[in-house]
Amino acid sequence: MTNLISIENLSMTYGSPARPILSGIDMSIAEGEFVCVLGQTGCGKSTLLRLVLGSEQPTRGQVLVDGERHLRPDWTRGYVPQKYALFPDRTVLDNITFGPEVREFNLFTRMMPRFFRRRRELRMHAMDYLMRIGLREADATKYPDQLSGGMQQRVAIAQALMTQPRILLMDEAFSALDPGTRRDMQKLIRQLWRDTRTTVLFVTHNTQEALSMATRVVVLAKEDPAHGSRVMLDMALNQPCREDEMPRLIAKVEGVCGSSRDPESALFSGEELPDKILL
């Protein structure tokens, strides 16, 4: 596999005086990999995702996609933020189809017959995603303020998938979901990845989730509080990851990044582990 994303000597600071977040990150991601990024809160996981997205630029070093720097987001990179960002004045269906419609048509071409034919196709495709993320046909005409937080997050995931990006960036995308829906979305993302081999960069606090979904786990951590986080563990995984391997792998990962977990992630680890994710 060829490298799609190259992160070279990347460092990031914020504020004045400068507060280091990331220091000397070197990492390559091959096309078709599913990479989960783990680490304690504040270690720079979300910052790394935004740098790959192109919405921020590093203080030092560079991020290359296909050997080129990208100074702004584009359609090749789908992004699901930790906090969903839907258009409040658009229905669920309009939110999901918004990206492809904007990409394919402008104000003038929207008056042509081709637009209406294509719009019907996109809406059929969007309805398929609506069903796959666990919503009902009746939800298609609702507005975001009529949905629960978990439902809005699922719509945001469908919105990103609808653009069929080459790279999918997901930042704690399942954090607002209940355990059952979270397991369903894990299965959906894994199945879509298997079908399309989209390159996925997935940020989570949940060690069990990372080991169950990814082909590779990267742990960010700080060796010294005065410096930014570095890559402390970069581990390829056998797929599917066997259940009897989980305790050893969890101990290895958490020995590097520490065992700080958000409350909901405890639902997916240790004694209270739910039914195994189907890979």
Residue 20 has pLDDT above 90, yes or no: yes
- Structure pTM? 0.84
Residue 206 has pLDDT above 60, yes or no: yes
Residue 239 has pLDDT above 50, yes or no: yes
pLDDT of residue 275: 36
Domain boundaries, the chain: 1-76+167-224+236-279, 88-164
Residue 199 has pLDDT above 90, yes or no: yes
Q: Please, what is the average pLDDT of the chain?
A: 86
Residue 276 has pLDDT above 80, yes or no: no
Yes or no: is domain 1-76+167-224+236-279 CATH 3.40.50.300? yes
d(Cα 228, Cα 211) in Å, to the nearest integer? 25
pLDDT of residue 268: 36
pLDDT of residue 259: 41
Structure tokens at 198: 């989209």
Classify the C-alpha dihedral 72-75-79-85 as positive or negative. positive
Q: How far apart are the first and last CA of the chain?
A: 22
Residue 79 has pLDDT above 70, yes or no: yes
pLDDT of residue 277: 31
Mean pLDDT in residue range 178-182 = 87
pLDDT of residue 230: 95
What are 119-178's pLDDT values in tens digits?
A: 899 999 999 989 888 899 999 999 999 998 888 988 998 999 898 899 999 999 888 788
Residue 108 has pLDDT above 90, yes or no: no
Query: Regarding beta strands 167-171 and 199-203, do their DSSP bridges make them parallel or antiparallel, or are they unpaired?
Result: parallel
Residue 266 has pLDDT above 70, yes or no: no
Mean pLDDT in residue range 2-30 = 94
DSSP per-residue letters across 195-238? HH--EEEEE-S-HHHHHHH-SEEEEEE-SSTTS-BEEEEEEE--
pLDDT-derived band of residue 58, with 50, 70 and 90 as boundaries? very high
Q: What is the dihedral of CA 98, 101, 102, 104, to 10 degrees?
A: 160
- In Å, how far are 1, 5, 88, 123, 261 from 170, measured between CA atoms? 22, 15, 21, 24, 18
pLDDT-derived band of residue 45, with 50, 70 and 90 as boundaries? very high
- Burial of 243 (C-beta count, 10 Å sphere; 0-12/13-18/19+): exposed
| Matching residue, tokens 């975001």 | 144
